[in-house]
Amino acid sequence: MTAVLVSRRAILPELAGWVAGAPRAVHLITSASSVTDAGMCALAAAGVETVVVEDYDSDQTTRLIEATCRRVGASRLLSTTEIDVQRCAAIRQRIGLPGQSVASANAYRDKYDMKSRVSAAGIATARMALADDAAAVDDLMHRADRFVLKPVRGVASKRTFMLDTAEELQRMLSRTASRSDYLVEERLDGELFHVDGLMLDGTVLQAWPSRYLHQQWRTMYEAKPNLSVMLADGAEAERLVATVREVVDALPAAEGLHAFHAEFFVEADGPVYLGEIAARAGGAGIVEAYEHSFGVNLYAEPIRAGLGFVSSERVARRAPDTLHGWGWFPPHEGTLLRAPSSAPTAQTLRYDLLVEHLPRHFDGPHAVTDAVATILFRRRVTDGSEPEDEMTQLLEIERWWNTNTEWTKGENR
């Protein structure tokens, strides 16, 4: 039996280890931006046939994926990346492969479909309207004060606009050519959390919540650090995990083992609002922090399950052994003159400055996952047993970064 795996994640050396000795032959289609010499050598040693494409998002790549499945007689089509959720489901449907269906893929990718289903199940979501539904948008403008305009199938906060008045929304809509691709939502100002884990055939196997320091749009448009840390076990964590189980139950089941990433807004003494959920692992530092906490890699487990390996017993763990957090520090619009070369805290497990030579000019972040430096850390405890309040440590890391970093506007010549 044969599996086709499509992925543009920069995980090729690790992937070679995950698939080595698989019961199914593996054919990989990946992006040129993900390729390293070490990764290609490791894949060749593992017997993986690899095809590298320049334009991973293109229709040509979609046709290549389907043609490869037909050529090798694939029994599985596996993916790790957001863009592949819907196109792989459509290919599975056309050629009769098992795995996540079109209905399930659409519900986990299309935010209007997703939140319509979740709201019908009684789970709180922001009020919303499709941008090309003039009557629904007008009604929303009379019921809400501030708005978000975002792509229906967007990712990483790209092309997302925060609008403070109905007049701003109207002006932005007047300049939006493809309104059918956009969703208008009431803006929520609660604290932002994410819940990550694994689900099997539409049932959550394992999940744990974390707290972001800033809402994602502030990272994208204000270059605020993308910082997050796992919650301690307790009522808030239990409420978020219970809610993500309800969300997964409300959506068409994704056949097989899948990672998921869900985001929730929580207002003071208010309900938990679903921001969105995806049937793939979260980006930035989520996978690394999760693996350090649970011993489970959110890329590896679904791939290995799809290849016929028996899942690790670790996927049944209810809670992590230890709590971890991560930070990705985005580029500002300007020139980076100075940045820390190390992170002198006892909790730091890894710190990487990704810029080789300073000064260096940037035109700002293009996605919330853009970074000039990254950090992985343990959540601090106060007396050797109890975790410290998560905001204390997140704010401390943000102050450390801001204090030891210097930017200037424009290019440094």
Classify 281 as helix, strand or coil: coil
Q: Give yes or no for residue 382 having a pLDDT over 80.
A: no
Q: Give yes or no for residue 221 having a pLDDT over 50.
A: yes
At residue 411, the pLDDT reads: 61
In terms of pLDDT, which residue wins out, 4 or 268?
Answer: 4
Using DSSP bridges, classify how beta strands 182-186 and 147-151 pair: parallel, antiparallel or unpaired.
Answer: antiparallel
pLDDT per position as a tens digit, 152-206: 887 766 788 889 999 999 999 998 888 889 999 999 988 999 999 999 999 999 9
Q: Which residues contact 363 (CB under 8 A, 6 or more apart)?
A: 331, 333
**Average pLDDT, rounded, for the chain:** 94
Q: What is the mean pLDDT of residues 392-404?
A: 96
The angle subtended at Cα 350 by Cα 346 and Cα 209, nearest 5°, is 85
Rg (CA), the chain: 22
pLDDT per position as a tens digit, 304-325: 999 999 998 999 999 998 999 9
**CA 333, CA 342: separation in Å to the nearest integer?**
23
At residue 384, the pLDDT reads: 63
Count H helices, E strands: the chain? 13, 19
**CA 38, CA 35: separation in Å to the nearest integer?**
9
Task: Report in angstroms the alpha-carbon separations of 372 from 54, 223, 330, 368, 378.
Answer: 24, 11, 6, 12, 21
CB 407 within 8 A of CB 336: yes
Classify 296 as helix, strand or coil: coil
At residue 177, the pLDDT reads: 81
At residue 392, the pLDDT reads: 93
The two structure tokens encoding residue 164: 């403070």
In terms of pLDDT, which residue wins out, 413 or 153?
Answer: 153
Q: What is the mean pLDDT of residues 287-314?
A: 96
Residue whose pair of structure tokens reads 């989520």 in the numeric block: 286
CB 163 within 8 A of CB 146: yes
The two structure tokens encoding residue 328: 């990705």
In terms of pLDDT, which residue wins out, 59 or 345?
Answer: 59
What φ, ψ does residue 345 adopt, rounded to 5°?
Answer: -130, 150
CB 155 within 8 A of CB 197: no
pLDDT per position as a tens digit, 92-142: 999 999 999 999 999 999 999 999 999 999 999 999 999 999 999 999 999
Classify 203 as helix, strand or coil: strand
Classify 3 as helix, strand or coil: strand
Distance of CA 143 to the CA centre of its chain: 30
Task: Report in angstroms the alpha-carbon separations of 138 from 53, 133, 176, 387.
Answer: 44, 9, 16, 47
What φ, ψ does residue 299 adopt, rounded to 5°?
Answer: -85, -45
**CA 231, CA 390: separation in Å to the nearest integer?**
7
For residue 344, name the pLDDT band (cuts at 50, 70, 90): confident
At residue 413, the pLDDT reads: 42
Q: What is the mean pLDDT of residues 322-349?
A: 95
At residue 410, the pLDDT reads: 64
